[in-house]
């Protein structure tokens, strides 16, 4: 059971209320809030626009309470008599076995302070306050400095519940979805619509976070390999920012590989030279079969399955837009001319210090959204979708002619399958991943509605809110009548940047030495840990010997931690880390003896050291390949000079 809040907690607040009388807190609260720079900036913007929906009153106990007129029922956020007692009772009723806590409602902070006292002040806490009026009133009425400076507390303020939901979902994912969801009861009465919107949006966003985390686990081995194998092209060729505003005011069509592509793909012949043709990797094969040469192709998926989409495709020099973790064979075979972006990964950051910035672009994990954002960056107008079903019409997954044209889906395929509104107003089958991308499109289209016209000419699939739905032939007649040399403009932008690659080689050599040291230390740790385990097997322990060996292992772990400060090993070891922190060996059985605990801990240590050793050796082998490739690039550059 949670411990009771100390009576002194309540007494101190009563004394505070009588002495301070709700004055003098604003300056110190603002000083504390300034340490949260982003929130402080929002606060300053709202500070002088407070409404009249909140009234501060003194309770019978002498501490402030709040009366609010929210979107729902008007009333007090806390008791008019004993708000601290009320907060304490609420707090002591909460569980203490969660990894984190999410609380809807900041109010005057009484219940949060009581929650900290009841369940511990080290539990990560995410607080959502939907009302700026309440927050502004609290800043003046009470001392919030301890909460504002709490390093374990995240705070979202304001009525933008979708933004709050994204932040909350990230918080929940950080703590492995073991987060207790709490609410201060008065908020359900005062802000029912905002709370419902937040709850629904967070539920959806949490699904997206699960998908992203599963993606990380799935690609934990492939990503470091692809990042380092692709480094030579990243260094040598321009970034996505070289495409900025290159086709301002000209139409662009994003060609995806949804089943409906077969309805209008032949019309791309009519659009060639009159609209930029931006083709996702999965659709490139279909276009080449029909003799249609796109102006750009896009790739971001690092899986072998994605590379199979290029089966039978002949390289023809079309510039490739790729993200660093794209499958290295795609970049190697089809990346004669490339643009890249988002090169801020820990494996690449140092190696790219001495080259021009590549730029960054949002993408939500989909190659179609990457093409979409690139079209926006290029200044395209309008931006047209075809093959963008974001659904499985008739159960079909891909367009005819793609590598996986026979793949089908049904509602029985699992709990992630669902129906959404189609372009014809009828339900159409989709899944959680595709629906995530649909929502991404809708959010971005809403943000960019004043800058661009977005047209869905897919002629099938899910409805994308904010787009004009029409046929591709109508688009051609309205927007694609003027010739423009898209190929020449894009080819010129794709010219190599002529960077000196030697600084990157030096960085990689240093990285290789560090990884060698990490591997060496883990070999030593493995031997020491086995010796320690052998000692534990002998029931009559030599305590001094055990302490010395434990201290030596602690020292080795600190050295390894310092060498791994850039977190190179972490990506490769995600599954192992999850096993060691969440698996059965991480949980102490009831009434575990000291001997059993020692054996369990040393067994876990064996797994950890071996995992770090393998990760270091694996990444080092990728670094060697990167060095060889960069060396080849330098030699080619010297031959040209």
The model's confidence at residue 50, banded by pLDDT at 50, 70 and 90, is low
If you average pLDDT over each of 210-214, 375-379, 416-420, which comes out highest?
375-379
The model's confidence at residue 215, banded by pLDDT at 50, 70 and 90, is low
pLDDT at 262 over 90: yes
Say yes or no: 292 and 195 in one domain.
Answer: no
Q: What's the pLDDT at 583?
A: 65
Q: What's the pLDDT at 623?
A: 95
Q: What's the pLDDT at 21?
A: 45
β-strand partners of 420: 428
Q: How many CA atoms are closer than 13 Å to the CA of 278, on its beta-carbon side?
A: 30
Q: What is the DSSP letter of 81?
A: S
Task: Write down which residue in 493, 523, 557 finishes a domain.
Answer: 493
pTM, two decimals, is: 0.76
Task: Compare 602 and 320 and report the one with higher pLDDT.
Answer: 320
In the structure, how many helices (H) and strands (E) does the chain have? 26, 17
Q: What's the pLDDT at 415?
A: 74
Cα(210)–Cα(203) distance, rounded to whole angstroms?
11
Residue in the block written with tokens 């806490």: 125
* CA-atom Rg of the chain in angstroms: 29
Say yes or no: 632 and 540 in one domain.
Answer: yes
Lowest mean pLDDT among 148-162, 188-202, 442-456, 596-610: 596-610
User: Cβ-count burial of 246 within 10 angstroms (0-12 exposed, 13-18 middle, 19+ buried)?
Assistant: middle
Task: Compare 411 and 639 and report the one with higher pLDDT.
Answer: 411
Work out the mean pLDDT of the chain and round it to a whole number. 88
Say yes or no: 175 and 227 in one domain.
Answer: no
Say yes or no: 95 and 201 in one domain.
Answer: yes
List the domain range (segments joined by +) for residue 211. Answer: 7-218
Task: Compare 240 and 365 and report the one with higher pLDDT.
Answer: 240
Number of CB atoms found within 10 A of residue 141's CB: 23
Say yes or no: 233 and 337 in one domain.
Answer: yes
Domain count, the chain: 3
Say yes or no: 260 and 186 in one domain.
Answer: no
pLDDT at 78 over 60: yes
pLDDT at 253 over 80: yes
β-strand partners of 431: 417
pLDDT at 417 over 60: yes
Residue 355 lies in a domain: yes
Structure token digits, residue 584: 């059965």
β-strand partners of 638: none
Structure token digits, residue 300: 């971001």
Q: What is the DSSP letter of 404?
A: T
Mean local confidence (pLDDT), 157-170: 91
pLDDT at 424 over 70: yes
Mean local confidence (pLDDT), 116-140: 93
Q: What's the pLDDT at 639?
A: 39
pLDDT at 68 over 60: yes
pLDDT at 156 over 70: yes
pLDDT at 20 over 50: no
Distance (Å) of CA 179 to CA 47, 99, 113, 170: 32, 6, 18, 11
Continuous segment of H or E residues that includes residue 205: helix 192-218
Cα(340)–Cα(616) distance, rounded to whole angstroms?
27
Say yes or no: 529 and 554 in one domain.
Answer: yes
Residue 1 lies in a domain: no
Say yes or no: 401 and 528 in one domain.
Answer: no
pLDDT at 43 over 50: yes
Continuous segment of H or E residues that includes residue 57: strand 54-58
The model's confidence at residue 481, banded by pLDDT at 50, 70 and 90, is very high
pLDDT at 546 over 90: no
pLDDT at 111 over 90: yes
Task: Write down which residue in 164, 188, 218 finishes a domain.
Answer: 218
The model's confidence at residue 15, banded by pLDDT at 50, 70 and 90, is very low
Say yes or no: 245 and 372 in one domain.
Answer: yes
Residue 2 lies in a domain: no
Mean local confidence (pLDDT), 268-287: 96
Task: Write down which residue in 155, 187, 218 finishes a domain.
Answer: 218
């Amino acid at each position: 059971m949670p411990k009771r809040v100390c009576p002194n907690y309540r007494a101190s607040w009563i004394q505070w209320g009588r002495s301070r009388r709700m004055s003098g807190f604003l300056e110190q609260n603002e000083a504390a809030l300034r340490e949260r720079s982003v929130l402080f900036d929002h606060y300053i913007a709202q500070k002088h626009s407070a409404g009249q929906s909140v009234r501060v009153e003194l309770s019978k106990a002498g501490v402030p309470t709040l009366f609010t007129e929210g979107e729902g029922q008007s009333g007090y956020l806390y008791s008019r008599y004993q708000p601290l007692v009320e907060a304490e009772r609420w707090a002591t009723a909460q569980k203490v076995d969660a990894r984190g806590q999410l609380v809807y409602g900041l109010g005057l902070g009484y219940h949060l302070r009581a929650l900290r006292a009841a369940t511990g002040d080290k539990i990560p806490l995410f607080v959502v306050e939907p009302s700026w009026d309440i927050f502004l009133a609290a800043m003046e009425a009470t001392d919030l400095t301890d909460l504002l400076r709490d390093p374990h507390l995240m705070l979202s303020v304001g009525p933008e519940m979708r933004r709050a939901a994204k932040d909350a979902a990230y918080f929940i994912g950080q703590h492995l979805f073991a987060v207790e969801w709490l609410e201060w009861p008065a908020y359900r009465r005062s802000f029912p619509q905002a709370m419902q919107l937040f709850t629904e949006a967070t539920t959806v966003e949490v699904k997206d976070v699960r998908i992203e985390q599963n993606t990380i686990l799935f690609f934990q081995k492939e990503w470091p390999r692809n990042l380092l194998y692709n480094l030579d092209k990243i260094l040598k060729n321009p970034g996505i920012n070289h495409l900025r505003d290159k086709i301002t005011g000209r139409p662009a069509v994003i060609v995806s590989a949804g089943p409906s592509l077969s309805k209008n793909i032949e019309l791309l012949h009519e659009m060639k030279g009159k609209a930029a043709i931006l083709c996702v990797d999965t659709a490139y094969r279909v276009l080449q079969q029909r003799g249609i040469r796109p102006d750009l192709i896009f790739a971001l998926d690092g899986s072998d399955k994605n590379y199979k989409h290029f089966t039978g495709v002949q390289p023809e020099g079309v510039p490739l837009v790729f993200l660093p973790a794209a499958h290295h064979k795609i970049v190697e075979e089809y990346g004669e001319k490339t643009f890249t972006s988002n090169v801020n990964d820990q494996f690449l950051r140092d190696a790219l210090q001495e080259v021009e910035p590549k730029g960054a672009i949002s993408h939500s994990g989909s190659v179609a959204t990457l093409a979409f954002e690139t079209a926006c960056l290029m200044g395209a107008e309008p931006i047209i979708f075809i093959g963008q079903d974001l659904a499985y019409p008739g159960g079909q997954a891909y367009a005819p002619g793609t590598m996986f044209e026979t793949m089908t889906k049904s509602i029985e395929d699992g709990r992630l399958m669902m129906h959404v509104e189609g372009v014809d107003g009828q339900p159409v089958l989709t899944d959680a991943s595709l629906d995530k991308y649909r929502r991404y499109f809708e959010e971005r289209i809403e943000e960019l509605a004043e800058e661009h016209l977005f047209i869905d000419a897919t002629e099938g699939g899910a409805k994308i809110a904010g787009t004009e739905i029409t046929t591709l032939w109508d688009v051609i007649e309205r927007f694609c009548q003027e010739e423009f040399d898209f190929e020449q403009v894009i080819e010129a932008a794709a010219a190599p940047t002529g960077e000196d690659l030697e600084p990157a080689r030096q960085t990689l050599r240093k990285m290789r030495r560090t990884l060698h040291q990490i591997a060496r230390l883990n070999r030593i740790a493995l031997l020491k840990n086995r010796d320690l385990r052998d000692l534990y097997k002998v029931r009559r322990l030599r305590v001094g010997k055990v302490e010395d060996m434990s201290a030596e292992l602690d020292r080795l772990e600190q050295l390894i931690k310092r060498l791994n400060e850039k977190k190179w090993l972490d990506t490769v070891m995600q599954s192992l880390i999850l096993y060691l922190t969440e698996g059965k060996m991480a949980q102490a059985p009831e009434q575990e003896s000291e001997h059993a605990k020692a054996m369990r801990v040393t067994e876990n240590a064996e797994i950890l050291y071996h995992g770090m050793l393998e990760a270091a050796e694996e990444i080092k082998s990728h670094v060697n390949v990167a060095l060889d490739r960069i060396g080849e690039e330098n030699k080619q550059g010297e031959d040209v000079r």
